[in-house]
Amino acid sequence: MIARTLFSEDHDMFRDAVRRFMATEVAPHTERWESQGYVDRELWRKAGAAGYLCPTMPEQYGGAGVDELFSVILMEEQFRIGATGPGFGLHSEIVAPYLLHHGSEHLKRTYLPKLASGEMIGAIAMTEPGTGSDLQGVKTTAILDGDHYVLNGSKTFITNGWHCDVVIVVAKTDPNAGAKGISLLVVDTSMPGFNKGKRLHKMGMSAQDTSELFFDNVRVPAQNLLGEEGRGFVYLMQELPWERMQIAVTAVAAAEAALEWTVQYTRDRKAFGKSIIDFQTVAHKLAEMKTEITVARVFIDRCIELKLAGKLDAVTASMAKYMSSELQFKVMDQCLQLFGGYGYMHEYPIARAWADARVQRIYGGTNEIMKELISRDL
């Protein structure tokens, strides 16, 4: 196994603590959360108290001011145990950075400490019925009326949507200006006219609350505009590479976990008087997966280094997301096959991981969009 060189002793100590948290506070409840369709809100408060929410935020806003490697560790350890329910990554590494990078001091002080503590849960509302990955095609509008924007429209497939207290909403402040008419608004769910739809029943990630959101003449204070009006699309493009890298990080971590489960299972499972790992066809399939996952790990670690150095570009992030999510699903499918009939049983983690993996090729921009972005750089 190629040794990873990204992490310091402090990172390793943090990983040990996170692993214990996942083992004691997450793993024992995962099956129940999958049945109920959401993670208990108490987990968010426990994660906040432990310093596992928004760790990269500056200390004055409730974070620890650490580097993104701590965030990588949190993502890897969550997906190592196959726990896709807690929407910590989106909350800490997408919502909070938008506020930090583009929000006013008022917005930062109002929301970031509460996001870091778990008192509030954050979401981002991009996708709409009929638009999918086409962010320029959003129909939700926010028309300025005095010192408020009047927000109308709907969003779907919103992670943390059912639990959320604050949402970054992608809306058209100038419906006739295309991408240049897109702005980002910070919307508090207590605002009149804001309504949450039902939790959506998904084929995978059953414990992660995902819902529709509806805006009916919601009056959003003009001071809740993120950055400048009409610059929303630019901000989205600036933040999307890190979002796609998070998908890549979790994809490889999930693939590593699946391989580990499968190696152990094939050692324990007997057929024709011997462990099935001793059959050449099984051993060679495991060898193929081990090699492909190791190659992916090296590339993703290099991309993380680029992110830390401020040099990760959109094309490289798109390649990372595309490659790793395709590999993740391939590995899950092949591992499930080696479990045989038991792999089709929901109580086995490989069955749930197979279903969870499918969406990785869709969200954060479909892999067809990733290939389009990559092809433009040829």
SS3 string of the chain? CCCCCCCCHHHHHHHHHHHHHHHHHHHHHHHHHHHHCCCCHHHHHHHHHHCCCCCCCCHHHCCCCCCHHHHHHHHHHHHHCCCCCCCHHHHHHHHHHHHHHHCCHHHHHHHHHHHHHCCCCEEEECCCCCCCCCHHHCCCEEEEECCEEEEEEEEEEEECCCCCCEEEEEEECCCCCHHHHEEEEEEECCCCCEEEEEECCCCCCCCCCEEEEEEEEEEEEHHHEECCCCCHHHHHHHHHHHHHHHHHHHHHHHHHHHHHHHHHHHHHCEECCEEHHHCHHHHHHHHHHHHHHHHHHHHHHHHHHHHHCCCCCHHHHHHHHHHHHHHHHHHHHHHHHHHHHHHHCCCCHHHHHHHHHHHHHCCCCCHHHHHHHHHCCC
Q: For residues 373 and 336, give the distance between their C-alpha atoms in angstroms, rounded to a whole number.
A: 32
Active site residue 77: no
Question: Within its chain, how far is the Cα of 55 from the centroid?
Answer: 15
Query: Residue 146 burial by CB count (10 A; 0-12/13-18/19+): exposed, middle or buried?
Result: exposed
Catalytic residue, from 93, 243, 292, 368: name it. 243
Please tell me the distance from the alpha carbon of residue 47 to that of residue 153, in angstroms, as a whole number.
Answer: 33
Active site residue ranges: 243
